[in-house]
Amino acid sequence: MAIECHHTPQNIIPPDADACLNQYPLVLVGPGTDIPVVYRVHDTYDPDGSPRSPLFYSSAWEPGTAPYMGGRFGLQGSKGLGTCNTGMSPLAAIREELGTDLSRTEIPRSRLAGKSISRIRLKHPIVLVDARVNGPGYCADCVSDARHNGTKYALTQPWAQGIYELGAGGIISNSSLEETENVYLYGPAGVYEGDLEVEETVELIEVYREYLAQGAGLPIIAEDIKNVPVLSDDFGDALHDSLFPN
């Protein structure tokens, strides 16, 4: 079920410019921490046929100024900033990709075709605001509320911008879809390799099938219902050795 907080109005107040980052609950991610890697689902290729980089930082834009309004914690594109949206696990990244399709019992194979999932290593320690728990001026459930999409993220984007301006390198939060957690990393808009590096990329549909075999509760692939494929040994070994930690 999606998260819906019952605060009215929702408790999300951007920080004052002179606030201290240390007043917020913080988490250190990167080398030597509990979160050295993150995961992202992305198109396998760009429209011109070249491989698409998963290290893309998307921006938020004022309504009417761009075709894409930006995501929950998108930073201001007018300032050259962006947010790289990732999951703490492959399953988290898959759930975010599916969105409302998670409520379906099955999906067509085409929903997963042409997409990959990448394991991304953080090059150095990054400080995140921990929005999985309540903090000054915000409620964790309000921040992760699934209904923000309907408001064009009018509350969460200014809050995220304020957190960035205090010096945070990003945000970690509960998924609005519950059960999993997401990591939002800040940086320059567009493809940026200064903080992250891609360790491995695998076709999404193969990872998805592996999770189905593990009973992850994802929608079944419609074309597989009558003819469940057997994963090749080479892929299975690579999968378990890399994307799926024990």
Residue 120: the pLDDT is 99
Buried b (16+ CB within 10 A) or exposed e, 175-196: bbbeebbbbbbbbebeebeebb
152 Cα distance to chain centroid:
17
- How far apart are alpha carbons 156 and 154 in whole angstroms? 6
pLDDT at 235: 41
Please report the pLDDT score of residue 234 as a whole number.
43
Q: What is the pLDDT of residue 60?
A: 86
Question: What are the pLDDT tens digits along the chain (246 aa)?
Answer: 556 666 665 778 999 999 999 999 999 999 999 999 999 999 999 999 999 999 999 998 765 566 567 888 999 999 999 999 999 999 999 999 999 899 999 999 999 999 999 999 999 999 999 999 999 999 998 888 767 655 678 889 999 999 999 999 999 999 887 789 999 999 999 999 999 999 999 999 999 999 999 999 999 999 887 665 544 444 445 455 555 553
pTM of this prediction? 0.86
Per-residue pLDDT, 238? 47
Question: What pLDDT is attached to residue 4?
Answer: 65
